[in-house]
Amino acid sequence: MSEVIALDPYRPYPGCYDELVDGNGVARPQALSVARFIMQNGAEELARRQAELDRTISAMGVSFTVYSDSQNIDRAWPLDVVPRTIAASDWQRTSDGLKQRLQALNLFINDLYNDQKILKDGIVPSELVLKSKNFLAPCQGFEPAYKVWANICGTDLVRDGEGNFLVLEDNLRVPSGVSYMLENRTVMKRVFPELFAKSTIGPVDDYPAQLWNMLASLSPQDEETPRVVVLTPGIYNSAYFEHSFLAQQMGCPLAENNDLYVDDDRVYLRTLHGPQRVDVIYRRIDDTFIDPQVFRKDSALGIPGLIGAWRAGNVAIANAPGSGVADDKVIYAFVPEIIRYYLKQDPLIDNVPTYLCMDDKERDHVLANLDKLVVKPANESGGYGILIGPRATDEERAQCAAAIRENPRNFIAQPTLNLSTAPTLCDDLLEPRHLDLRPFILQGESLYCTNGGLSRVALRRGSLVVNSSQGGGSKDTWIINHGS
């Protein structure tokens, strides 16, 4: 007989899948240990642990940066005390689906910069790719190691009302957030040691080693240990915390552009003891900024000659410049077809249904249903520029409609989803809050997917916006093996 624990008085929103309980507020099997802890210790103890957790985060210096009034402000990273639990059996299929997706996307990118078979076969409209500002001509005719362009991918997943994982978007340029996934776990282990002792929670802490192994596998040199560096725009960048964290955890130098230079198509690091050859660069700078000789001439963050060294095969860059061509929200709509085309497999994870405004019929549908849809610009990140139809004012909808008519290629629309929720501590009470999930997938010589990922939670009641720059929080994500 399995144990039945109701998380009273907590009740999920009707129509939304809750990660911890079913529609009656009864804990799901993978959430039993967490539910037991909550019911035995009460909200007061949870609040005490939350305070302890906040203190730990401050002491660990886990922060994120928000830009406000042209100033950078460091804020303590927000982490909710209640973990999100996912059954290992659920996760296995999802993780396979994520690897499948990245594999197909990489075949796609490599095809676009070389033979363009998929365009010739009419699976993806040529002009969609060739006119995209993310299609970087200087990358054509090149094949990186293993023909893999996007080595690090952060895929945003949501669950629909039935609890099915759907892909919301692929981040193939410089996806961030993995450091917070790692730090969330470190903090939770300090604050809830007893829960870790009682459950089988999938570990996440091998990520830095996996990342380094993947990066090292890209090295063009055969000999010894390759020299891998992390390239950051500098301490004023909003993700600097993560850059320095990953460099520290991998044991790599954290370089700014001026720490690197190119001589005779080889890249060197300026160290105290003289120049050192660099084999692999994990760039955390947008690709159009990395070489002023090839891309943006005005870039003060770039390394002149870097693309030349890359094309000469003397240094690997991850993610490869030009990878962004596949993380366009219009291309996104074609990913299921892309998977079928290259892998001859059905996608293991579905997309969120998506309307393309470039299609006349679909655009008419979007314009007629703006009050029901979420409209997204094709090329923004961080949740900026999104219109959530049902919550927008008439004026905002009118502005959005005009923008769509002006440049239909730049917009997609999706139905407003009932994002899944999880109990979240709000003013000392547990309330449902919407969340998403960003796992990180690595591809070099082999494929790897994190155990879970970074769960981001919208802290305002009913809100769907999970971005930390816009008031979102986070949860530790536990992949739980609870037996059969």
Partner 1 sequence: MLARVAENVYWMGRYLERMDDTARLINATTHMLIDSHEGTRFSWPVLIDVLGEDTEGFVQEGSSSELGVMHYLIVAEDSAASIRHACTQVRNNARCVREVIPREFWEGINSLHLFVQSECKLASSRAKRYNLMAEVIRRCQAVIGVMDGTMLRDDTYGLFNIGRHLERADMTTRIMDVLILQQLAPAAGRQTRRQFEWSSLLNAMGAVESYRRYFTEEPGETDVTDFLLTYGPFPRSVASCLEKIERSARWLPRSEGVLKTIGNIRNALDSEPLHSLNTLGMHKLIDDVQAGLIDLHGALISESLQAPAA
Positions that interact with partner 1 (CB under 8 A): 58-61, 230, 235, 244-245, 247-248, 252-256, 258-259, 261, 263, 268-275
Cα–Cα distance measured from residue 134 to residue 458, given in angstroms and rounded to the nearest whole number: 30
Nearer CB in complex with partner 1: 113/268: 268
Nearer CB in complex with partner 1: 197/272: 272
What tokens does 326 get?
Answer: 């596949």
Nearer CB in complex with partner 1: 273/361: 273
- Nearest approach, Cβ of 439 to partner 1 (angstroms)? 24
- Nearest approach, Cβ of 33 to partner 1 (angstroms)? 28
Cα–Cα distance measured from residue 348 to residue 338, given in angstroms and rounded to the nearest whole number: 13
- Nearest approach, Cβ of 248 to partner 1 (angstroms)? 4
Are 414 and 354 within 8 A, CB to CB?
Answer: yes
In our burial notation (b when 16+ CB lie closer than 10 A, e otherwise), range 318-345 reads: bbbbbbbbbbbbbbbbbbbebbebbeee
Nearer CB in complex with partner 1: 53/422: 53
Nearer CB in complex with partner 1: 226/322: 226
Instruction: Give the distance between the most distant pair of CA atoms in the chain.
Output: 71
- Nearest approach, Cβ of 257 to partner 1 (angstroms)? 11
Nearer CB in complex with partner 1: 42/61: 61
Nearer CB in complex with partner 1: 187/435: 187
- Nearest approach, Cβ of 233 to partner 1 (angstroms)? 14
- Nearest approach, Cβ of 60 to partner 1 (angstroms)? 6
Nearer CB in complex with partner 1: 59/73: 59
Return the closest-CA partner of residue 367 out of 404, 325, 409, 319: 404
Alpha-helical segments (H) within 175-322: 178-191, 193-198, 207-217, 240-250, 306-311
Concatenated DSSP letters for 361-393? HHHHHHHHTTTTEEEEETT--TTTT-EEGGGS-
Bond prior to 319 in cis (omega within 30° of 0): yes
- Nearest approach, Cβ of 63 to partner 1 (angstroms)? 9
Radius of gyration from C-alpha coordinates of the chain:
23
What tokens does 170 get?
Answer: 């692929």
- Nearest approach, Cβ of 301 to partner 1 (angstroms)? 14
C-alpha to C-alpha distances, 424 to 43, 83, 190, 427, nearest whole angstrom: 11, 9, 19, 10
What tokens does 211 get?
Answer: 């990342």
Q: How far apart are the first and last CA of the chain?
A: 13
